[in-house]
């Protein structure tokens, strides 16, 4: 019985994390933003949305292992998003180059920036 309650609690926490990662405004009134994230040790994808046409934005993604009192950044990538039209979801995909990955929880953090200023930031804990 305890194991069933534990599994249900984990499922509930997973659903809350997913909704927190997807809680960014997409009603057509805000600036460019991150609306979805996914990652494993081989690849990642980040879905972007903007109510207006965009160009020259920078997407920074980091794979982070939580530690006791600190974080270990396993890998980071920066890339230009290119241009994308208004009112369209655009998914950017990348590959990680992680050697000898350890099992366990880690966080994907994504930042969408324009001229060094953060427009949107989101993260999701993966297990």
Q: What is the CB-side half-sphere exposure of residue 115 using CA atoms within 13 A?
A: 1
Q: State pTM to two decimals.
A: 0.72
pLDDT at residue 30, as a whole number? 63
pLDDT at residue 28, as a whole number? 46
Helix, strand, coil share of the chain (percent; to 5) = 15, 50, 35
> Could you tell me the residue range of the domain that residue 90 belongs to?
2-126
pLDDT at residue 23, as a whole number? 40
pLDDT at residue 31, as a whole number? 82
Q: Which alpha helices (H) appear in 1-126, and where do they start and end?
A: 2-21
CATH value at residue 16: 2.60.40.10
Q: What is the mean pLDDT of each run of 10 residues along the chain (127 residues)?
A: 43 41 46 93 94 94 87 92 93 90 87 94 90
pLDDT at residue 48, as a whole number? 96
Instruction: List the 58-66 sheet strands across, edge first.
Output: 71-80, 58-66, 106-114, 117-126
The pair of three-digit structure tokens given for residue 81, joined into one six-digit string? 């998003």
pLDDT at residue 61, as a whole number? 97
pLDDT at residue 29, as a whole number? 52
How many structural domains comprise the chain? 1
């Amino acid at each position: 019985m305890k194991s069933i309650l534990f599994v249900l609690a984990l499922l509930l926490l997973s659903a809350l994390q997913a909704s927190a990662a997807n809680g960014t405004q997409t009603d057509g009134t805000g600036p460019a933003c991150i609306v979805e994230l996914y990652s494993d040790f081989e690849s990642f994808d980040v879905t972007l949305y903007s109510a207006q046409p965009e160009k020259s934005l920078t997407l920074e993604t980091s794979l982070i292992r939580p530690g006791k009192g600190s974080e270990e950044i396993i890998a980071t990538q920066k890339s230009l998003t290119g241009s994308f039209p208004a009112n369209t979801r655009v998914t950017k995909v990348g590959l990680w180059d992680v050697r000898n990955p350890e099992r366990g929880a880690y966080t994907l953090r994504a930042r969408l920036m324009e001229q060094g200023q953060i427009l949107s930031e989101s993260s999701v804990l993966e297990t």
